[in-house]
Homo-oligomer: A and B are copies of this chain.
Amino acid sequence: MEWEKGEAIWKQIGRLLLQDITAGVYKPGDKLPTENELAKRFGVNRHTVRSAIAALTEDNVMRVEQGRGTFVQESLMDYTLGSRTRFSQIVSGRHRLPDKTLLSSEREKATKQVAKKLMVARDEKVIKLESVSQADGIALAHSISYLPALRFKGIEKVFAETKSLTEAFKYFGLNDYTRKNTRITAQMPSKRTAELLKQAKNKPVLITESVDVDATGKVIQFGITHFASERVQLFVDNESTSPLS
């Protein structure tokens, strides 16, 4: 390997690696060769390769995990938590194809937690919907939604067809609803969630618990969503909010 004079070797190596990535030799999520292999390939010291990797990591092009290797960084989908957050809009706004698959639906009695969130009586019947959200066929989130059964009888069929809760709500004459609040926690994924999200078991999931209300302020949905932290980051924008809050 011959190096141009006047430019640091590690910068030149960085450009070569970047070329490989943009050319698709290494795809998002792929593991790069080890530092020793790269050092051998470029005929330089391992530290020189590390300098190049450090610069590309800083640029968010790759990601290094101690003991595992260096990986091409997947772009994280920004999921904005606003009062009118809509999954399909977020995904299609990124020029990716949204899809939401209904895994199961059940009618059951509200547990204490669900009854409180939905503001219905304990033991009132609720509909439980379980779904997986995808963008371009890549799983992003695994959700469980609870809705009051009285108001939305049979919504699971409409949801399964339209693949959208927003659309299903419209079928029930509900043309608009807003997110009241969102609570965010992090946990290790259950086996089932890890499988559904096709996510590493040793990477956490971001969990949101949210409450949606209709125009009159009536609660229409309580949802628990598990996001693949490898592919999604949540985003809160305070610029468009009132300065009084």
Q: Which residues does A use to contact B, with CB under 8 Å?
A: 58-60, 76, 78, 81-84, 111-113, 178-188, 202-206, 229, 233-245
Contact = CB atoms under 8 A, between A and B. Distances in A.
Nearest to A239: B180
Contacts of A178: 238, 243
A22 to B, nearest CB: 18
B202 A186 contact: no
Q: How many copies does the complex hold?
A: 2
Contacts of A58: 111-113
A204 B206 CA distance: 10
Contacts of A229: 185-187, 204
Given A58-B111, A204-B204, A241 B187 contact: no
A111 B56 CA distance: 12
Nearest to A234: B184
Nearest to A55: B112
B202 A185 contact: no
Nearest to A245: B240
Contact of A185 (B83, B233, B245): B233
A94 to B, nearest CB: 15
Q: Which 3 A-B pairs have the closest CB atoms?
A: A204-B204, A186-B186, A241-B241
Given A83-B243, A181-B236, A188 B206 contact: no
Contacts of A179: 238
A83 B241 CA distance: 8
